[in-house]
Amino acid sequence: PFDVLVVGGGPAGASAAIYAARKGIRTGIVAERFGGQVADTVGIENFISVPYTEGPKLVAHLEEHVNEYDVDVMKAQQAVALRKTDSGLTEVELANGAVVSGKSVILATGARWREMNVPGEQQYKAKGVAYCPHCDGPLFKGKKTAVIGGGNSGIEAAIDLAGIVEHVTVLEFADTLRADAVLVKKAESLPNVTIIKNAMTTEVLGDGERVTGLKYQDRISGEDKELQLAGIFVQIGLVPNTEFLKDSVELSNRGEIVINEHGQTSMPGVFAAGDCTTVPYKQIIISMGAGATAALGAFDHLIRQ
Ligand code: FAD
C-alpha cells in the first residue's frame, strides 16, 4: 500500500502529493485528468507571485513539480468507490476494476461548474462565457455583462461585478431569488444592476470570435428577448465530484466532503482538500494550500499509527 494515496490531480492533489513525497513516504496519485479545472482555464491572473499564466502552462508546471519527486502517478484512472479494509487500510476501487490502497488517502477530486446547456455556451467558453467572477471579472471592466442565476453565488457575483463592469443584468429562471435577503437588498440598491426574474436563457450569441449577447424567453409572456453583452457569468451551481463517496465519508447537503481544520474527513486516515470539500472559497491558490494542509494532516496521522 501507499503511505499516502491521493485521488485527483488538480492543484489540490498535486500540492498534497508534493508535500507527502517530501516527507520521504510512499506517495501515489490516481487522477482521471491531470490538471483538473486548470486545464480548462485560459488566463490566470490571481495565482499570487505569478502575475499572468495560462491553464495548460500551469498544468505543465504542476506536473513537472510532481515529477521532481518519487510519486507514482496513475493517469486516466477514475475512482469509483472508497472503503476500509479489516486491517485499517483504505482501498480505492478504480473503474477498470483495479484496487489501490493507502495507509492514508487524500481526496482531491475537485468540482465542475453546472452549465446552462444552451446553444453557443460551449463555443464561447472563455470567449465571454465565464464561471468565476473572482477570476474573470476584471476582463470585463467597463463592459456590459449578465449573471445567470439568482442564488447566493449569482447575487454575490452581481454585486462584485457591479464595481468593475458597466452594467450587470441578473437573469433568474424562477419567480423569486433564492439568495439571502441582505444580498438581494444590496444588489437592488446598485444603480448598474438590473434583476430579471422568470427569464429562461435560451442561447449565447456571438460574432464567431466572442460573445455579443444572449437570448432569453420571458416565461410569463413567452416572448423572446435579446440582450447585448460582452460577458456572461454562469452561476447556477458548482457540483463537487463526490458521487462515488456517498456511502463512505460524510458529505454536506451540497455533496461537499466535510473536513476539519486538518483536512480530516469523517473516515479515519482519510483527508480531503480543494473544491470537493466544504472549504468556503474555490480557487487555485486556496486548493493548493488545502492540499498542503491535508498532506501534513495525513503525515501527522501516520506517525501516530
Ligand atoms: P480540480 O482542479 O477540479 O481537480 C480535480 C482532479 O480530480 C482532476 O484531476 C480530476 O480529473 C480528478 N478527479 C475527479 N473525479 C475523480 C475520480 N472519481 N477519480 C479520479 N480522479 C478524479 N481559480 C483561480 O484561482 N483563478 C482562476 O483564474 C480560475 N479560473 C477558472 C476558470 C475556469 C474555466 C474554471 C472551471 C475554474 C477556474 N478557477 C480559477 C477555479 C480553479 O480552477 C479551481 O478552484 C481549482 O482547480 C480546484 O482545484 P482542485 O484540485 O480542488 O480540483
Residue located nearest, by CA, to atom 36 of ligand 1: 37
**276 in active site:** no
Residues with C-beta less than 6 Å from any ligand 1 atom: 7-13, 30-34, 36-38, 40-41, 44, 46, 78-79, 108-111, 113, 131-132, 135, 241, 244, 274-275, 282-285, 287
Report how far ligand 1's centroid is from the alpha carbon of 218 (Å). Answer: 34
Catalytic pick among 3, 86, 136, 224? 136
CA 176 to chain centre: 26
Half-sphere exposure of 72 (CA within 13 A, CB side): 14
Give the mean pLDDT of 134-142.
95
Which of 19, 41, 113 to probe ligand 1 with, by most ligand atoms within 8 A of CB?
41
> Please, what's the b/e burial string for 42-60 (b: 16 or more CB within 10 A of its CB; e: otherwise)?
eebebbeeeeebebeebbe
User: Can you tell me the mean pLDDT for 75-91?
Assistant: 97
Q: Indicate which atom in ligand 1 lies nearest the CA of residue 45.
A: 28
Residue 42 has pLDDT above 90, yes or no: no
Atom of ligand 1 nearest to the CA of 44: 28
Whether residue 119 has pLDDT greater than 90 = yes
- Tell me the mean pLDDT in the region 210-227: 98
- Calculate mean pLDDT across residues 204-226: 98
Please state, in angstroms and rounded to a whole number, the distance separating the CA atoms of residues 28 and 20.
Answer: 9
Instruction: Report pLDDT for 196.
Output: 98
How many angstroms separate the CA atoms of 139 and 133, rounded? 10
Catalytic residue among 3, 72, 132, 160: 132
Residue 123 has pLDDT above 90, yes or no: yes
- Across the chain, what does the average pLDDT equal? 97
pLDDT average, residue stretch 200-226: 98
ipTM: 0.99
136 classed as catalytic? yes
CB 242 within 8 A of CB 109: yes
**Is 107 a residue whose pLDDT tops 90?**
yes
The preferred substitution site among 18, 29, 38 for testing ligand 1, maximizing ligand atoms within 8 Å of CB, is 38
Q: Name the amino acid, one letter, at 279.
A: V
> Would you say residue 170 has pLDDT above 90?
yes
Q: Does residue 118 carry a pLDDT above 90?
A: yes
Mean pLDDT of 24-29: 98
d(CA 256, CA 240): 6
For the residues 7-36, what does the mean pLDDT come to?
Answer: 98
pLDDT over 90 (residue 210): yes
pLDDT digits (tens, 9 = 90+) for 262-302: 999 999 999 999 999 999 999 999 999 999 999 999 999 99
